[in-house]
């Protein structure tokens, strides 16, 4: 922490402690909400797997699509968002000094806004008034309180993001001309992405769905609302993956006893994510009428560009591994691999996540491949895909992070027993996912639809074959789901133990010193106005003409359909 310590001297009065206890508490509350949502979410997943496999029948008061909605909202939105902000608050406090009382108050306000929104949405799902899945495609219509809840959720995260950015820019003001600490730089890039992307979902929810659900407007422009949703929906996945990359870039090098390969390249990767992860939403709408082939192809190109920062990341991370392994005496082409701390869950869990990102990323390229998308669009393949990306790469990285972040903020220690439990959790999760996601991928290639309850389509032979395969079967999916649930329950136990029962003590915040090349960071990388400007230009380029066309040449709108979901 050479650099930030310089800054810390004139910025905070408590540079010795790991992080300010008050900031620790803020982070802990976020992480706790995340894990309780996680517990409910995975139990929903278990029920879905068993019900779809035809192994259990859901009770009449519980709908398949109701739990599917809960599973998606709790895991994809609530778990990820809360754990990400928990990580951000703790990391900003560590690298930029404690939050001021005013900013911390703002962070608590954001927490309450987000949480009230979560409770409102969850209540509507429980009441079976919002079984519209987490994508809430119009003209299926949920109760208006569901939309208000989602709005508060998003607005709350914006306030949290503003808190973190204010803290970051305060540091920059106090340290003029210096490259900012990597953690703050990366967190800021992630939050700018989140805010710019959130404008899309805010526009459709506030401008289209809420007035329509409240009865102020009679009709809704369906294609426009889908387009605005996916303008948000794809950057959403980068909002998950960028914090995971932050763990890889900033935490893992320290855990393995090395240092990050290059700071400038890390910054460049995050700038590229900010630029290219938004104007790509059409690759979720490739099979849709009303958008021309030309604009779909333009966004396909931009989608492929956003692979580049992931290529940069893969190189940086594995270069860091090799560099560290060799410094520790590893020789030959691959023997440096043996020098890595395989028995340390803080490394092992994220490492398995990285490994799985290789097939996951390749699958993503297939999905985005324009006309090829017809083979897998809305099949179980897609579900298999994102259970690898967010459901394994991101989740295992956050699991690994939990083993130091939770004891750090609760003033406890990671014990050997907990470490071993974490390794077991990682293996179980990986094995369960191999069965579940593997079977989903193949079933998808055979045409099995996603988001569909148990059905044999009146015993059509093709649909029956989806239950009869040796590996490619809904039964394998359910089996994988059972193993994953066991892993998830174990992880929840790990969380409870680390939060309230582990022995008291000091835990290290493993964070790599900013790399040697930091003083030579090109100043242009720190020019946020420039990057936001280019991002806006790219968005306007990719979206203006098709959205104008959707509005001006819109077909008559759709009335409400809220009877179909109950």
Partner 1 sequence: MHLHKYEKIWLIFGIGSLVLFLAVLGVAAFAFGQQPPSHMAKVDAQNLEESVFSEPGLDQINEDTYRARIVAMAFGYDPGTIEVPVGSTVIFEVTSSDVVHSFTIPGTNVNMMITPGHVNMAEYTFDEPGEYLVLCNEYCGTGHHYMQMKIEVTP
- Per the annotation, the verdict on 143 as an active-site residue is no
Distances (CA, A) of 378 to 118, 357, 445: 27, 21, 11
Residues 286-345 that bind partner 1 (CB under 8 A): 286-293, 296-297, 300-301, 304-305, 307-308, 311-312, 315, 319
For residue 144, give the nearest of 156, 157, 154, 132 by alpha carbon.
132
Q: Does 522 bind partner 1 (CB under 8 A)?
A: yes
- Of 288 and 330, nearer to partner 1 (C-beta) is 288
Buried b / exposed e along 546-557 (16+ C-beta atoms within 10 A):
bbeebeeeeeeb
Any bridge partners for residue 140, and if so which? 561
Q: Does 415 bind partner 1 (CB under 8 A)?
A: no
Residues 237-266 that bind partner 1 (CB under 8 A): 262, 264-265
Piece in contact with partner 1 (CB under 8 A), picked from 61-69, 385-393, 406-414, 477-485: 61-69
Question: In a 3-state reduction of DSSP, which class is residue 453?
Answer: coil
Residues 214-233 that bind partner 1 (CB under 8 A): 222-223, 226
- Of 494 and 521, nearer to partner 1 (C-beta) is 521
Token pair 């020019």: residue: 527
- Per the annotation, the verdict on 451 as an active-site residue is yes
Q: Does 469 bind partner 1 (CB under 8 A)?
A: no
Piece in contact with partner 1 (CB under 8 A), picked from 40-48, 236-244, 420-428, 446-454: 446-454
Residue 517 beta carbon to partner 1: minimum distance, rounded to whole angstroms: 7
Query: For residue 206, what is the DSSP state?
Result: I
Q: Does 137 bind partner 1 (CB under 8 A)?
A: yes
Residues 368-387 that bind partner 1 (CB under 8 A): 369-375, 377-379
Of the candidates 35, 87, 231, 238, the residue annotated as catalytic is: 238
Separation CA 304–CA 294 (nearest Å): 16
Residue 178 beta carbon to partner 1: minimum distance, rounded to whole angstroms: 17
Q: Is the dihedral of CA 276, 278, 283, 286 positive or negative?
A: negative
Any bridge partners for residue 449, and if so which? 379
Q: Does 54 bind partner 1 (CB under 8 A)?
A: no
Piece in contact with partner 1 (CB under 8 A), picked from 113-121, 177-185, 284-292, 470-478: 284-292
φ/ψ of residue 177, rounded to 5: 80, -10
Residue 371 beta carbon to partner 1: minimum distance, rounded to whole angstroms: 5
Of the candidates 96, 104, 267, 385, the residue annotated as catalytic is: 385
SS3 content of the chain, % helix, strand, coil (to 5): 75, 0, 25
Q: Does 362 bind partner 1 (CB under 8 A)?
A: no
Residue 121 beta carbon to partner 1: minimum distance, rounded to whole angstroms: 17
- Residues in contact with partner 1, total (CB under 8 A)? 77
Q: Please answer whether residues 352 and 426 qualify as being in contact, where contact means their C-beta atoms are separated by less than 8 angstroms.
A: yes
Separation CA 429–CA 425 (nearest Å): 6
Of the candidates 259, 326, 377, 451, the residue annotated as catalytic is: 451
Joined together, the tokens standing for residue 67 give 């739990």
CA angle 126, 132, 136 (to 5 degrees): 125
Cβ atoms within 10 Å, residue 1:
16
Separation CA 158–CA 195 (nearest Å): 6
Separation CA 460–CA 23 (nearest Å): 58
- Of 100 and 378, nearer to partner 1 (C-beta) is 378
- Per the annotation, the verdict on 387 as an active-site residue is yes
The one among 29, 75, 133, 395 contacting partner 1 by CB under 8 A: 133
Q: Does 187 bind partner 1 (CB under 8 A)?
A: no
Separation CA 2–CA 44 (nearest Å): 46
Q: Does 527 bind partner 1 (CB under 8 A)?
A: no
DSSP H helices, 389-526, are 395-410, 416-445, 461-468, 474-496
- Per the annotation, the verdict on 234 as an active-site residue is yes
Q: Is the dihedral of CA 56, 61, 64, 70 positive or negative?
A: negative
Of the candidates 259, 326, 377, 450, the residue annotated as catalytic is: 450
Residue 215 CB-half CA count within 13 A: 1
Residue 54 beta carbon to partner 1: minimum distance, rounded to whole angstroms: 12
Phi-psi region of 179 (alpha: psi -120 to 50; beta: other; left: phi over 0): beta
The one among 11, 36, 65, 169 contacting partner 1 by CB under 8 A: 65
Piece in contact with partner 1 (CB under 8 A), picked from 132-140, 327-335, 413-421, 486-494: 132-140
Separation CA 274–CA 278 (nearest Å): 7
Piece in contact with partner 1 (CB under 8 A), picked from 350-358, 405-413, 476-484, 515-523: 515-523
- Per the annotation, the verdict on 520 as an active-site residue is no
The one among 463, 490, 534, 538 contacting partner 1 by CB under 8 A: 463
Piece in contact with partner 1 (CB under 8 A), picked from 163-171, 331-339, 389-397, 558-566: 558-566
Of the candidates 96, 143, 226, 234, the residue annotated as catalytic is: 234
The one among 63, 207, 257, 469 contacting partner 1 by CB under 8 A: 63
- Of 5 and 456, nearer to partner 1 (C-beta) is 456
CA angle 182, 184, 187 (to 5 degrees): 105
Q: Which residues are catalytic?
A: 234, 238, 385-387, 450-451
């Amino acid at each position: 922490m050479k650099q930030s310590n310089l800054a810390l001297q004139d910025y905070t009065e408590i540079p010795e402690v790991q992080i300010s206890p008050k900031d620790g508490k803020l982070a802990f509350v976020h992480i706790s909400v995340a894990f309780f949502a996680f517990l409910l979410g995975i139990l929903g997943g278990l029920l879905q797997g068993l019900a779809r496999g035809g192994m259990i029948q859901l009770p009449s008061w519980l709908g398949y699509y109701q739990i599917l909605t809960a599973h998606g909202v709790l895991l994809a939105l609530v778990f990820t968002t809360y754990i990400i902000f928990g990580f951000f608050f703790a990391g900003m406090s560590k690298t930029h000094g404690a939050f001021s009382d005013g900013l911390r108050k703002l962070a608590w306000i954001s927490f309450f806004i987000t949480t009230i929104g979560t409770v409102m949405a969850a209540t509507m799902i429980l009441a079976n008034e919002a079984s519209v899945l987490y994508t809430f495609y119009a003209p299926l219509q949920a109760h208006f309180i569901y939309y208000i809840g989602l709005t508060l959720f998003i607005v709350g995260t914006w306030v949290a993001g503003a808190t973190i950015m204010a803290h970051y820019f305060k540091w920059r003001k106090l340290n003029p001309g210096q490259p900012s600490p990597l953690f703050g730089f990366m967190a800021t890039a992630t939050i700018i992405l989140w805010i710019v992307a959130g404008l899309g979902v805010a526009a459709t929810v506030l401008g289209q769905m809420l007035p329509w659900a409240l009865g102020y407007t009679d009709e809704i422009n369906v294609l426009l609302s889908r387009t605005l949703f996916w303008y948000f929906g794809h950057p959403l996945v980068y909002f998950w993956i960028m914090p995971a990359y932050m763990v890889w870039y900033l935490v893992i090098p320290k855990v393995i006893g090395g240092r990050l390969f290059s700071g400038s390249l890390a910054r460049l990767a995050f700038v590229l994510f900010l630029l290219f992860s938004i104007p790509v939403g059409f690759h979720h709408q490739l099979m849709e009428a009303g958008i021309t082939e030309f604009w779909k192809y333009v966004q396909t190109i931009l989608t492929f560009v956003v692979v580049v920062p992931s290529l940069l990341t893969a190189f940086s991370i594995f270069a860091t591994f090799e560099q560290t392994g060799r410094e520790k005496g590893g020789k030959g082409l691959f023997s440096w691999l043996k020098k890595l701390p395989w028995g340390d869950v803080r490394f092992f869990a994220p490492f398995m996540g990285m490994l799985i990102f290789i097939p996951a990323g390749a699958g993503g390229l297939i999905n985005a491949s324009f006309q090829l998308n017809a083979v897998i669009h809305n099949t179980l393949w897609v579900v298999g895909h994102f259970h690898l990306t967010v459901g394994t790469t991101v989740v295992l990285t956050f699991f690994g992070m939990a083993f130091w972040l939770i004891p750090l903020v609760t003033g406890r220690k990671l014990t050997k027993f907990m470490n071993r439990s974490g390794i077991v959790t990682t293996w179980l999760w990986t094995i369960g996912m191999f069965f579940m996601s593997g079977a989903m991928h193949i079933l998808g290639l055979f045409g099995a639809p996603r988001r569909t309850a148990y059905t044999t389509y009146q015993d059509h032979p093709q649909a029956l074959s989806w239950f009869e395969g040796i590996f490619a079967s809904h039964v394998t999916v359910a089996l994988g789901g059972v193993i994953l649930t066991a892993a998830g329950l174990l992880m929840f136990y790990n969380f409870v133990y680390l939060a309230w029962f582990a022995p008291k003590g000091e835990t290290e915040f493993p964070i790599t010193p900013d790399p040697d090349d930091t003083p030579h960071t090109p100043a242009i990388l720190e020019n946020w106005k420039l990057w936001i400007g280019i991002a806006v230009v790219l968005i306007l380029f990719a979206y203006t003409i098709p959205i104008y066309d959707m509005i001006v040449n819109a077909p008559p709108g759709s009335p409400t359909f809220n009877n179909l979901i109950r």
